[in-house]
Structure 1
Amino acid sequence: MKKILTIAGSDCSGGAGIQADIKTITAHKMYAMSAITALTAQNTIGVYGVQEVTPEFVALQLDCIFTDIRPDAVKIGMVSNVEIIKTIANKLLEYKAKNIVFDPVMVATSGSKLLSDNAVNALVQRLLPVADIITPNISEAQSLWGYPVESQKDMLDAAIYLSIMTGKGVLIKGGHLTECADDLFFINGQAHWFTAPRIDNPNTHGTGCTLSSAIACNLALGCTMEESIKNAKAYITGALMDGLDLGKGSGPLNHIYKII
Protein backbone atom coordinates (compact mmCIF):
# COMPACT_ATOMS: atom_id res chain seq x y z
CA MET A 1 0.00 0.00 0.00
CA LYS A 2 1.30 3.45 -0.91
CA LYS A 3 1.73 5.88 2.00
CA ILE A 4 0.86 9.57 1.65
CA LEU A 5 1.72 12.29 4.17
CA THR A 6 -0.29 15.49 4.39
CA ILE A 7 1.28 18.45 6.21
CA ALA A 8 -1.55 20.90 6.70
CA GLY A 9 -4.06 22.54 9.00
CA SER A 10 -7.16 20.92 10.42
CA ASP A 11 -10.64 21.94 9.26
CA CYS A 12 -13.10 21.07 12.03
CA SER A 13 -15.99 21.13 9.53
CA GLY A 14 -14.31 18.38 7.51
CA GLY A 15 -14.33 19.91 4.03
CA ALA A 16 -10.76 21.12 3.64
CA GLY A 17 -7.33 20.73 5.23
CA ILE A 18 -6.17 17.38 6.55
CA GLN A 19 -9.73 16.07 6.67
CA ALA A 20 -10.14 16.57 2.91
CA ASP A 21 -6.66 15.17 2.32
CA ILE A 22 -7.26 12.02 4.34
CA LYS A 23 -10.60 11.40 2.60
CA THR A 24 -8.96 11.86 -0.80
CA ILE A 25 -6.04 9.57 0.02
CA THR A 26 -8.38 6.92 1.41
CA ALA A 27 -10.58 7.13 -1.70
CA HIS A 28 -7.44 6.30 -3.69
CA LYS A 29 -6.97 3.22 -1.47
CA MET A 30 -3.77 4.55 0.05
CA TYR A 31 -2.55 4.96 3.63
CA ALA A 32 -2.92 8.52 4.94
CA MET A 33 -0.69 10.15 7.54
CA SER A 34 -0.81 13.74 8.80
CA ALA A 35 1.39 16.33 10.45
CA ILE A 36 -0.89 19.09 11.70
CA THR A 37 0.39 22.66 11.43
CA ALA A 38 -2.65 24.45 12.86
CA LEU A 39 -6.12 23.95 14.25
CA THR A 40 -8.78 26.08 12.63
CA ALA A 41 -12.30 26.87 13.80
CA GLN A 42 -14.07 27.13 10.45
CA ASN A 43 -17.05 26.01 8.45
CA THR A 44 -18.51 26.61 4.99
CA ILE A 45 -19.14 30.27 5.85
CA GLY A 46 -15.76 31.38 7.16
CA VAL A 47 -12.72 30.94 9.41
CA TYR A 48 -13.34 32.04 12.98
CA GLY A 49 -10.07 31.16 14.66
CA VAL A 50 -6.62 29.67 14.11
CA GLN A 51 -4.47 27.99 16.76
CA GLU A 52 -0.97 27.34 15.43
CA VAL A 53 1.04 24.29 16.41
CA THR A 54 4.56 25.05 17.66
CA PRO A 55 7.40 24.48 15.16
CA GLU A 56 8.95 22.03 17.63
CA PHE A 57 5.83 19.88 17.66
CA VAL A 58 5.55 19.99 13.87
CA ALA A 59 9.16 18.76 13.72
CA LEU A 60 8.39 15.98 16.20
CA GLN A 61 5.43 14.80 14.12
CA LEU A 62 7.60 14.67 11.01
CA ASP A 63 10.38 12.81 12.83
CA CYS A 64 7.89 10.20 14.03
CA ILE A 65 6.51 9.69 10.54
CA PHE A 66 9.73 9.57 8.52
CA THR A 67 11.60 7.32 10.96
CA ASP A 68 8.84 4.72 11.00
CA ILE A 69 6.44 4.76 8.01
CA ARG A 70 8.23 6.58 5.23
CA PRO A 71 5.77 8.29 2.84
CA ASP A 72 5.82 7.67 -0.90
CA ALA A 73 4.53 11.21 -1.50
CA VAL A 74 3.99 14.37 0.53
CA LYS A 75 1.29 17.01 0.20
CA ILE A 76 1.83 20.39 1.92
CA GLY A 77 -1.10 22.69 2.59
CA MET A 78 -1.61 25.39 5.21
CA VAL A 79 1.62 26.70 6.75
CA SER A 80 0.89 29.86 8.65
CA ASN A 81 4.15 31.30 9.96
CA VAL A 82 7.85 31.65 9.20
CA GLU A 83 9.20 29.19 11.77
CA ILE A 84 6.82 26.40 10.74
CA ILE A 85 7.78 26.97 7.09
CA LYS A 86 11.49 26.70 7.94
CA THR A 87 10.89 23.60 10.05
CA ILE A 88 9.00 21.78 7.29
CA ALA A 89 11.57 22.68 4.63
CA ASN A 90 14.46 21.52 6.83
CA LYS A 91 12.82 18.23 7.73
CA LEU A 92 11.84 17.37 4.15
CA LEU A 93 15.42 18.03 3.06
CA GLU A 94 16.82 16.08 6.02
CA TYR A 95 14.76 13.00 5.16
CA LYS A 96 15.15 13.43 1.38
CA ALA A 97 11.39 13.32 0.87
CA LYS A 98 10.12 12.51 -2.64
CA ASN A 99 7.07 13.48 -4.70
CA ILE A 100 6.31 16.70 -2.83
CA VAL A 101 3.17 18.61 -3.85
CA PHE A 102 2.76 22.06 -2.33
CA ASP A 103 -0.60 23.80 -2.38
CA PRO A 104 0.27 27.31 -1.15
CA VAL A 105 -2.88 27.96 0.89
CA MET A 106 -3.14 31.68 1.52
CA VAL A 107 -6.87 32.35 1.49
CA ALA A 108 -9.75 30.01 2.33
CA THR A 109 -12.59 29.42 -0.16
CA SER A 110 -14.72 31.64 2.09
CA GLY A 111 -12.23 34.50 1.58
CA SER A 112 -10.60 34.32 5.01
CA LYS A 113 -6.84 34.94 5.12
CA LEU A 114 -4.76 31.99 6.32
CA LEU A 115 -1.15 33.16 5.86
CA SER A 116 0.59 36.06 7.61
CA ASP A 117 2.28 38.68 5.42
CA ASN A 118 5.79 38.03 6.75
CA ALA A 119 5.42 34.33 6.00
CA VAL A 120 5.06 34.85 2.24
CA ASN A 121 8.77 35.59 1.71
CA ALA A 122 9.78 32.55 3.75
CA LEU A 123 7.36 30.44 1.77
CA VAL A 124 8.87 31.62 -1.53
CA GLN A 125 12.49 31.32 -0.42
CA ARG A 126 12.39 28.15 1.69
CA LEU A 127 9.42 25.96 0.85
CA LEU A 128 8.65 26.44 -2.85
CA PRO A 129 12.12 25.22 -3.94
CA VAL A 130 11.72 22.03 -1.87
CA ALA A 131 8.52 21.00 -3.66
CA ASP A 132 8.41 19.05 -6.93
CA ILE A 133 5.20 20.78 -8.02
CA ILE A 134 3.29 23.78 -6.64
CA THR A 135 -0.46 24.23 -7.24
CA PRO A 136 -1.55 27.86 -6.66
CA ASN A 137 -4.98 29.12 -7.67
CA ILE A 138 -5.37 32.47 -9.41
CA SER A 139 -5.27 34.61 -6.25
CA GLU A 140 -2.31 32.67 -4.84
CA ALA A 141 -0.43 32.99 -8.14
CA GLN A 142 -1.03 36.75 -7.99
CA SER A 143 0.42 36.92 -4.47
CA LEU A 144 3.49 34.89 -5.44
CA TRP A 145 4.06 36.64 -8.77
CA GLY A 146 3.20 40.14 -7.59
CA TYR A 147 0.97 41.10 -10.52
CA PRO A 148 -2.72 40.60 -11.40
CA VAL A 149 -3.65 37.33 -13.10
CA GLU A 150 -6.75 37.98 -15.19
CA SER A 151 -6.21 36.01 -18.40
CA GLN A 152 -4.54 32.93 -19.82
CA LYS A 153 -1.59 35.09 -20.88
CA ASP A 154 -1.21 36.30 -17.28
CA MET A 155 -1.34 32.68 -16.11
CA LEU A 156 1.46 31.78 -18.50
CA ASP A 157 3.61 34.75 -17.46
CA ALA A 158 3.11 33.92 -13.77
CA ALA A 159 3.87 30.25 -14.35
CA ILE A 160 7.07 31.04 -16.23
CA TYR A 161 8.19 33.34 -13.42
CA LEU A 162 7.43 30.82 -10.67
CA SER A 163 9.01 27.96 -12.60
CA ILE A 164 12.22 29.91 -13.19
CA MET A 165 12.29 31.02 -9.56
CA THR A 166 11.80 27.52 -8.12
CA GLY A 167 13.10 25.28 -10.88
CA LYS A 168 10.04 23.08 -10.37
CA GLY A 169 6.67 22.33 -11.92
CA VAL A 170 3.90 24.91 -11.55
CA LEU A 171 0.18 24.17 -11.89
CA ILE A 172 -1.94 27.34 -11.90
CA LYS A 173 -5.61 26.52 -11.45
CA GLY A 174 -7.87 28.66 -13.61
CA GLY A 175 -11.16 28.06 -11.84
CA HIS A 176 -11.36 31.71 -10.74
CA LEU A 177 -10.98 33.12 -14.26
CA THR A 178 -14.08 34.61 -15.88
CA GLU A 179 -13.30 33.62 -19.47
CA CYS A 180 -12.62 29.92 -18.85
CA ALA A 181 -11.69 27.37 -16.19
CA ASP A 182 -8.58 25.92 -17.83
CA ASP A 183 -5.55 24.93 -15.75
CA LEU A 184 -1.95 25.52 -16.83
CA PHE A 185 0.96 23.23 -15.98
CA PHE A 186 4.41 24.63 -16.76
CA ILE A 187 7.68 22.70 -16.39
CA ASN A 188 11.08 22.68 -18.10
CA GLY A 189 10.07 25.53 -20.39
CA GLN A 190 6.97 23.72 -21.65
CA ALA A 191 3.33 24.75 -21.14
CA HIS A 192 0.58 22.13 -20.87
CA TRP A 193 -3.05 23.30 -20.81
CA PHE A 194 -5.78 21.18 -19.22
CA THR A 195 -9.15 22.20 -20.58
CA ALA A 196 -12.43 21.33 -18.91
CA PRO A 197 -15.95 22.77 -18.86
CA ARG A 198 -16.84 24.90 -15.85
CA ILE A 199 -18.98 22.90 -13.45
CA ASP A 200 -22.03 24.76 -12.16
CA ASN A 201 -21.57 23.98 -8.47
CA PRO A 202 -21.09 26.70 -5.82
CA ASN A 203 -19.87 24.12 -3.29
CA THR A 204 -16.10 24.23 -3.74
CA HIS A 205 -14.85 24.15 -0.15
CA GLY A 206 -11.57 22.23 -0.09
CA THR A 207 -11.10 21.82 -3.85
CA GLY A 208 -7.44 22.92 -3.73
CA CYS A 209 -6.66 20.55 -0.88
CA THR A 210 -8.39 17.71 -2.67
CA LEU A 211 -6.68 18.26 -6.01
CA SER A 212 -3.17 18.48 -4.53
CA SER A 213 -3.71 15.33 -2.46
CA ALA A 214 -4.98 13.46 -5.52
CA ILE A 215 -1.88 14.56 -7.46
CA ALA A 216 0.32 13.24 -4.64
CA CYS A 217 -1.49 9.90 -4.75
CA ASN A 218 -0.86 9.56 -8.46
CA LEU A 219 2.80 10.55 -8.14
CA ALA A 220 3.19 7.84 -5.50
CA LEU A 221 1.99 5.32 -8.10
CA GLY A 222 4.76 6.40 -10.44
CA CYS A 223 2.63 8.48 -12.81
CA THR A 224 4.24 11.44 -14.55
CA MET A 225 3.26 14.90 -13.39
CA GLU A 226 1.05 15.38 -16.44
CA GLU A 227 -0.67 12.04 -15.87
CA SER A 228 -1.04 12.80 -12.17
CA ILE A 229 -2.70 16.14 -12.87
CA LYS A 230 -5.02 14.62 -15.49
CA ASN A 231 -6.11 11.81 -13.14
CA ALA A 232 -6.51 14.18 -10.19
CA LYS A 233 -8.65 16.55 -12.27
CA ALA A 234 -10.88 13.66 -13.32
CA TYR A 235 -11.32 12.68 -9.67
CA ILE A 236 -12.19 16.19 -8.48
CA THR A 237 -14.52 16.75 -11.44
CA GLY A 238 -16.49 13.69 -10.39
CA ALA A 239 -16.58 14.86 -6.78
CA LEU A 240 -17.95 18.24 -7.88
CA MET A 241 -20.49 16.77 -10.30
CA ASP A 242 -21.85 14.50 -7.57
CA GLY A 243 -23.64 17.57 -6.23
CA LEU A 244 -23.21 17.18 -2.48
CA ASP A 245 -24.88 20.14 -0.75
CA LEU A 246 -23.98 20.64 2.91
CA GLY A 247 -23.70 23.78 5.01
CA LYS A 248 -24.92 27.35 4.63
CA GLY A 249 -21.97 28.63 2.57
CA SER A 250 -19.62 27.10 0.00
CA GLY A 251 -20.00 23.45 0.92
CA PRO A 252 -17.61 20.49 0.67
CA LEU A 253 -17.15 17.89 -2.05
CA ASN A 254 -18.21 14.27 -1.92
CA HIS A 255 -14.73 12.72 -1.69
CA ILE A 256 -16.11 9.19 -1.74
CA TYR A 257 -18.42 9.52 -4.75
CA LYS A 258 -16.40 6.54 -5.89
CA ILE A 259 -13.45 4.59 -4.56
CA ILE A 260 -10.60 4.78 -7.06
Structure 2
Amino acid sequence: MTHVAMTIAGSDSGGGAGIQADLKTFQELGVFGTSAITAVTAQNTLGVHGVWPLGGEAVTAQTDAVFGDFEVSAVKTGMLFSAEIIRAVARSLEEADRPALVVDPVMIAKGGANLLQQEAVDALAKELIPLAAVITPNIPEAEVLTGMDIRSESDMEKAGRSLLGMGARAVIVKGGHRTDERRASDLYMDRDGSRMVLSSERIHTKDTHGTGCTFSAALTAFLAAGQTLPDAAEGAKRFIQAAISDGLGIGSGHGPTNHWAYHRIGGMSAKGAITVES
Protein backbone atom coordinates (compact mmCIF):
# COMPACT_ATOMS: atom_id res chain seq x y z
CA MET A 1 0.00 0.00 0.00
CA THR A 2 1.27 3.43 -0.93
CA HIS A 3 0.84 6.01 1.79
CA VAL A 4 0.24 9.63 0.76
CA ALA A 5 1.14 12.74 2.76
CA MET A 6 0.70 16.40 1.96
CA THR A 7 2.61 19.53 2.87
CA ILE A 8 1.02 22.99 2.81
CA ALA A 9 3.87 25.45 3.14
CA GLY A 10 6.14 27.97 1.47
CA SER A 11 8.79 27.25 -1.13
CA ASP A 12 12.44 27.62 -0.07
CA SER A 13 14.63 28.29 -3.08
CA GLY A 14 17.66 27.18 -1.04
CA GLY A 15 16.13 23.74 -0.59
CA GLY A 16 16.75 23.38 3.14
CA ALA A 17 13.30 24.14 4.53
CA GLY A 18 9.69 24.49 3.46
CA ILE A 19 8.13 22.45 0.68
CA GLN A 20 11.49 21.21 -0.54
CA ALA A 21 12.57 19.84 2.86
CA ASP A 22 9.16 18.28 3.42
CA LEU A 23 9.08 16.41 0.12
CA LYS A 24 12.66 15.17 0.58
CA THR A 25 11.73 13.86 4.02
CA PHE A 26 8.56 12.16 2.77
CA GLN A 27 10.59 10.46 0.04
CA GLU A 28 13.26 9.27 2.47
CA LEU A 29 10.59 7.68 4.67
CA GLY A 30 8.80 5.91 1.83
CA VAL A 31 5.72 8.13 1.67
CA PHE A 32 4.41 9.72 -1.53
CA GLY A 33 4.46 13.48 -1.12
CA THR A 34 1.94 16.00 -2.45
CA SER A 35 1.95 19.74 -1.84
CA ALA A 36 0.21 23.09 -1.85
CA ILE A 37 2.48 26.14 -2.00
CA THR A 38 1.43 29.12 0.12
CA ALA A 39 4.23 31.50 -0.81
CA VAL A 40 7.38 31.73 -2.89
CA THR A 41 10.49 32.88 -1.08
CA ALA A 42 13.88 34.00 -2.35
CA GLN A 43 15.96 32.28 0.30
CA ASN A 44 19.33 30.72 0.95
CA THR A 45 21.46 29.86 3.97
CA LEU A 46 22.15 33.56 4.58
CA GLY A 47 18.49 34.49 5.01
CA VAL A 48 15.15 35.28 3.42
CA HIS A 49 15.52 37.92 0.71
CA GLY A 50 11.90 38.15 -0.41
CA VAL A 51 8.44 36.65 0.21
CA TRP A 52 5.60 36.55 -2.33
CA PRO A 53 2.48 35.02 -0.79
CA LEU A 54 -0.32 33.47 -2.81
CA GLY A 55 -3.97 34.31 -2.28
CA GLY A 56 -6.31 32.03 -0.39
CA GLU A 57 -8.07 31.03 -3.62
CA ALA A 58 -4.82 29.76 -5.16
CA VAL A 59 -4.01 27.72 -2.06
CA THR A 60 -7.54 26.26 -1.94
CA ALA A 61 -7.32 25.26 -5.61
CA GLN A 62 -4.17 23.27 -4.86
CA THR A 63 -5.54 21.53 -1.78
CA ASP A 64 -8.83 20.74 -3.53
CA ALA A 65 -6.95 19.22 -6.47
CA VAL A 66 -4.95 16.94 -4.18
CA PHE A 67 -7.82 15.94 -1.88
CA GLY A 68 -10.05 15.33 -4.91
CA ASP A 69 -7.71 12.71 -6.37
CA PHE A 70 -5.54 11.21 -3.62
CA GLU A 71 -6.33 9.41 -0.38
CA VAL A 72 -4.19 11.61 1.86
CA SER A 73 -3.47 10.02 5.24
CA ALA A 74 -1.63 12.92 6.89
CA VAL A 75 -1.11 16.63 6.23
CA LYS A 76 1.40 19.08 7.66
CA THR A 77 1.27 22.84 7.54
CA GLY A 78 4.36 25.01 7.63
CA MET A 79 4.69 28.63 6.55
CA LEU A 80 1.13 29.93 6.08
CA PHE A 81 2.01 33.65 6.23
CA SER A 82 -1.45 35.26 6.44
CA ALA A 83 -4.82 34.94 8.13
CA GLU A 84 -6.43 34.60 4.69
CA ILE A 85 -4.31 31.55 3.87
CA ILE A 86 -4.88 30.01 7.31
CA ARG A 87 -8.65 30.30 6.95
CA ALA A 88 -8.53 28.84 3.44
CA VAL A 89 -6.47 25.86 4.65
CA ALA A 90 -8.79 25.28 7.62
CA ARG A 91 -11.85 25.21 5.34
CA SER A 92 -10.19 22.75 2.97
CA LEU A 93 -9.21 20.43 5.81
CA GLU A 94 -12.70 20.51 7.31
CA GLU A 95 -14.19 19.55 3.94
CA ALA A 96 -11.67 16.72 3.39
CA ASP A 97 -11.79 13.34 5.14
CA ARG A 98 -9.95 14.82 8.12
CA PRO A 99 -6.47 13.36 7.58
CA ALA A 100 -4.13 13.56 10.59
CA LEU A 101 -2.97 17.16 10.76
CA VAL A 102 0.47 18.26 11.95
CA VAL A 103 0.68 22.01 12.55
CA ASP A 104 4.21 23.42 12.54
CA PRO A 105 3.56 27.06 13.48
CA VAL A 106 6.37 28.57 11.41
CA MET A 107 6.82 32.19 12.45
CA ILE A 108 10.45 33.31 12.14
CA ALA A 109 13.24 32.14 9.82
CA LYS A 110 16.72 31.30 11.12
CA GLY A 111 17.95 34.66 9.87
CA GLY A 112 15.21 36.54 11.74
CA ALA A 113 12.72 37.24 8.93
CA ASN A 114 9.03 37.16 9.92
CA LEU A 115 7.22 34.33 8.13
CA LEU A 116 3.83 34.82 9.81
CA GLN A 117 1.99 38.12 9.90
CA GLN A 118 1.00 39.25 13.39
CA GLU A 119 -2.71 39.24 12.63
CA ALA A 120 -2.40 35.63 11.50
CA VAL A 121 -1.44 34.40 14.99
CA ASP A 122 -5.03 34.62 16.23
CA ALA A 123 -6.31 32.85 13.12
CA LEU A 124 -3.78 30.06 13.66
CA ALA A 125 -4.92 29.59 17.27
CA LYS A 126 -8.65 29.79 16.54
CA GLU A 127 -8.98 28.21 13.10
CA LEU A 128 -6.20 25.65 12.67
CA ILE A 129 -4.94 24.40 16.04
CA PRO A 130 -8.36 22.94 16.97
CA LEU A 131 -8.09 20.70 13.88
CA ALA A 132 -4.60 19.46 14.73
CA ALA A 133 -3.62 15.95 15.72
CA VAL A 134 -0.38 17.51 16.96
CA ILE A 135 1.25 20.95 17.02
CA THR A 136 5.06 21.25 17.02
CA PRO A 137 6.19 24.71 18.21
CA ASN A 138 9.71 25.56 19.23
CA ILE A 139 10.06 27.63 22.39
CA PRO A 140 9.80 31.09 20.74
CA GLU A 141 6.70 29.97 18.82
CA ALA A 142 5.13 28.48 21.95
CA GLU A 143 5.81 31.76 23.78
CA VAL A 144 3.97 33.74 21.08
CA LEU A 145 1.00 31.37 21.05
CA THR A 146 0.62 31.16 24.83
CA GLY A 147 1.91 34.56 25.96
CA MET A 148 4.27 32.80 28.40
CA ASP A 149 7.97 33.06 29.08
CA ILE A 150 9.47 29.58 28.77
CA ARG A 151 12.74 28.98 30.59
CA SER A 152 12.44 25.49 32.11
CA GLU A 153 10.91 22.08 31.54
CA SER A 154 8.16 23.09 33.97
CA ASP A 155 7.42 26.12 31.78
CA MET A 156 7.36 23.87 28.71
CA GLU A 157 4.77 21.67 30.42
CA LYS A 158 2.59 24.66 31.31
CA ALA A 159 2.80 25.89 27.72
CA GLY A 160 1.94 22.41 26.48
CA ARG A 161 -1.17 22.31 28.63
CA SER A 162 -2.18 25.73 27.32
CA LEU A 163 -1.77 24.57 23.71
CA LEU A 164 -3.80 21.43 24.39
CA GLY A 165 -6.46 23.75 25.78
CA MET A 166 -6.65 25.41 22.34
CA GLY A 167 -7.94 22.13 20.91
CA ALA A 168 -4.94 20.18 19.62
CA ARG A 169 -4.97 16.46 20.48
CA ALA A 170 -1.22 16.48 21.19
CA VAL A 171 1.68 18.90 21.38
CA ILE A 172 5.44 18.61 21.07
CA VAL A 173 7.22 21.63 22.57
CA LYS A 174 10.72 21.53 21.08
CA GLY A 175 13.43 22.56 23.50
CA GLY A 176 16.35 23.16 21.19
CA HIS A 177 16.38 26.90 21.97
CA ARG A 178 17.12 26.23 25.65
CA THR A 179 20.84 26.83 26.06
CA ASP A 180 20.94 25.86 29.74
CA GLU A 181 20.71 22.15 28.95
CA ARG A 182 23.49 19.84 27.74
CA ARG A 183 20.96 17.79 25.80
CA ALA A 184 18.18 18.95 23.46
CA SER A 185 14.91 17.81 25.03
CA ASP A 186 11.44 17.96 23.50
CA LEU A 187 8.28 17.49 25.54
CA TYR A 188 5.41 15.39 24.16
CA MET A 189 1.97 15.67 25.78
CA ASP A 190 -1.47 14.58 24.63
CA ARG A 191 -5.05 14.90 25.76
CA ASP A 192 -5.12 11.27 26.90
CA GLY A 193 -2.60 12.13 29.60
CA SER A 194 0.48 10.63 27.95
CA ARG A 195 3.72 12.51 28.55
CA MET A 196 7.29 11.83 27.51
CA VAL A 197 10.56 13.69 27.13
CA LEU A 198 12.51 12.98 23.95
CA SER A 199 16.14 13.84 24.56
CA SER A 200 19.16 13.81 22.26
CA GLU A 201 22.77 14.88 22.27
CA ARG A 202 23.12 18.58 21.53
CA ILE A 203 25.06 18.97 18.27
CA HIS A 204 27.09 22.18 18.07
CA THR A 205 26.72 23.24 14.44
CA LYS A 206 25.58 26.23 12.40
CA ASP A 207 23.87 23.92 9.92
CA THR A 208 20.36 23.87 11.37
CA HIS A 209 18.32 25.49 8.60
CA GLY A 210 15.02 23.65 8.18
CA THR A 211 15.17 21.57 11.37
CA GLY A 212 11.59 22.42 12.35
CA CYS A 213 10.23 21.70 8.88
CA THR A 214 12.13 18.44 8.65
CA PHE A 215 11.07 17.24 12.10
CA SER A 216 7.39 17.93 11.44
CA ALA A 217 7.63 16.36 7.97
CA ALA A 218 9.10 13.17 9.44
CA LEU A 219 6.32 13.16 12.04
CA THR A 220 3.76 13.52 9.23
CA ALA A 221 5.32 10.70 7.21
CA PHE A 222 5.26 8.31 10.16
CA LEU A 223 1.61 9.21 10.87
CA ALA A 224 0.73 8.70 7.20
CA ALA A 225 2.25 5.22 7.43
CA GLY A 226 -0.06 4.38 10.33
CA GLN A 227 2.14 4.87 13.40
CA THR A 228 0.71 6.12 16.67
CA LEU A 229 1.46 9.70 17.71
CA PRO A 230 4.00 8.73 20.43
CA ASP A 231 5.82 6.34 18.07
CA ALA A 232 5.79 8.91 15.26
CA ALA A 233 7.20 11.54 17.62
CA GLU A 234 10.06 9.27 18.62
CA GLY A 235 10.76 8.37 15.00
CA ALA A 236 10.80 12.04 13.99
CA LYS A 237 13.25 12.82 16.79
CA ARG A 238 15.58 10.09 15.52
CA PHE A 239 15.26 11.37 11.96
CA ILE A 240 16.13 14.99 12.78
CA GLN A 241 18.96 13.96 15.12
CA ALA A 242 20.56 12.05 12.26
CA ALA A 243 19.99 14.95 9.86
CA ILE A 244 21.71 17.43 12.20
CA SER A 245 24.57 15.18 13.29
CA ASP A 246 25.61 14.21 9.74
CA GLY A 247 25.87 17.70 8.29
CA LEU A 248 26.43 18.58 4.65
CA GLY A 249 28.66 21.63 5.12
CA ILE A 250 27.17 23.63 2.26
CA GLY A 251 26.22 27.30 2.07
CA SER A 252 27.80 30.30 3.76
CA GLY A 253 25.26 30.78 6.56
CA HIS A 254 22.91 28.48 8.45
CA GLY A 255 23.34 25.41 6.25
CA PRO A 256 20.64 22.78 5.69
CA THR A 257 20.32 19.53 7.56
CA ASN A 258 21.05 16.26 5.79
CA HIS A 259 17.78 14.69 4.71
CA TRP A 260 19.36 11.38 3.67
CA ALA A 261 21.42 10.92 6.84
CA TYR A 262 18.80 8.75 8.59
CA HIS A 263 19.42 5.93 6.14
CA ARG A 264 23.06 6.73 5.40
CA ILE A 265 24.23 6.35 9.01
CA GLY A 266 21.71 3.64 9.81
CA GLY A 267 18.56 3.59 11.89
CA MET A 268 20.31 2.07 14.92
CA SER A 269 22.81 4.92 15.10
CA ALA A 270 19.99 7.45 15.01
CA LYS A 271 18.04 5.43 17.56
CA GLY A 272 20.99 5.18 19.91
CA ALA A 273 21.26 8.95 20.14
CA ILE A 274 17.74 9.27 21.57
CA THR A 275 16.49 8.71 25.11
CA VAL A 276 12.81 8.60 26.02
CA GLU A 277 11.52 9.27 29.52
CA SER A 278 7.88 9.07 30.58
TM range (shorter): over 0.9
Mean Cα deviation higher: 109-118 or 10-19: 109-118
Q: What is the TM-score normalised by the length of structure 2?
A: 0.91
Alignment counterpart, residue 210 of structure 1, candidates 195, 205, 214: 214
Alignment counterpart, residue 187 of structure 1, candidates 181, 186, 190: 190
- Over the residues paired in the alignment, what is the CA RMSD in angstroms? 1.2
Q: In structure 2, what is the Cα distance between the partners aligned to 1:131 and 1:87?
A: 15
Runs (5+) with no aligned partner, structure 1: none
1:128 shift after superposition: 0.7
- Judge conservation of contact 1:74–1:97 (CA < 8 Å) in 2: no
> Does 2:225 correspond to 1:224?
no
Q: Which residue of 1 aligns with 2:152?
A: 151
1:96 shift after superposition: 2.4
- Judge conservation of contact 2:135–2:168 (CA < 8 Å) in 1: no
Q: Secondary structure at the match of 1:48?
A: strand
Q: In structure 1, what is the Cα distance between the partners aligned to 2:113 and 2:240?
A: 23
Q: In structure 1, what is the Cα distance between the partners aligned to 2:45 and 2:167?
A: 33
Q: What are the residue-to-residue correspondences of 1:236-247 with 2, within 5 Å? A: 236-247=240-251
Q: What is the TM-score normalised by the length of structure 1?
A: 0.97
Q: Secondary structure at the match of 1:193?
A: strand
Q: Which residue of 2 aligns with 1:71?
A: 72
Q: In structure 2, what is the Cα distance between the partners aligned to 1:21 and 1:193?
A: 24
1:258 shift after superposition: 4.4
Q: Secondary structure at the match of 2:204?
A: coil
Runs (5+) with no aligned partner, structure 2: 268-278
**Letter paired with 1:36:** I
| Superimposed CA distance per residue, residues 165-186 of structure 1 (whole angstroms, 9 cap, x where no aligned partner) | 2142010000000122210011
What is the percentage of aligned positions where both structures have the same residue? 45
1:191 shift after superposition: 2.4
Q: In structure 2, what is the Cα distance between the partners aligned to 1:224 and 1:258?
A: 20
Q: In structure 2, what is the Cα distance between the partners aligned to 1:92 and 1:44?
A: 32
Q: Which residue of 2 aligns with 1:18?
A: 19
Kindly tell me the number of residue pairs found equivalent between the two proteins.
Answer: 260
- Judge conservation of contact 2:134–2:168 (CA < 8 Å) in 1: no
Q: What are the residue-to-residue correspondences of 1:98-113 with 2, within 5 Å? A: 98-113=99-114
> Does 2:115 correspond to 1:126?
no
1:29 shift after superposition: 1.6
1:72 shift after superposition: 1.3
After TM superposition, what 4+ stretches of structure 1 lie above 2 angstroms from structure 2? 257-260
Q: Secondary structure at the match of 1:88?
A: helix
- Judge conservation of contact 2:129–2:168 (CA < 8 Å) in 1: no
- Judge conservation of contact 2:56–2:84 (CA < 8 Å) in 1: yes
Q: Which residue of 2 aligns with 1:92?
A: 93
Q: In structure 2, what is the Cα distance between the partners aligned to 1:11 and 1:229?
A: 24
Q: Secondary structure at the match of 2:109?
A: coil
Q: In structure 1, what is the Cα distance between the partners aligned to 2:169 and 2:219?
A: 15
> Does 2:200 correspond to 1:200?
no
| Superimposed CA distance per residue, residues 16-52 of structure 1 (whole angstroms, 9 cap, x where no aligned partner) | 0000001000111211111000001111111111101
Q: In structure 1, what is the Cα distance between the partners aligned to 2:222 and 2:123?
A: 28
Q: In structure 2, what is the Cα distance between the partners aligned to 1:165 and 1:30?
A: 30
| Superimposed CA distance per residue, residues 97-152 of structure 1 (whole angstroms, 9 cap, x where no aligned partner) | 21111100001122211111111001100011111100000100000010211111
- Judge conservation of contact 2:211–2:257 (CA < 8 Å) in 1: yes
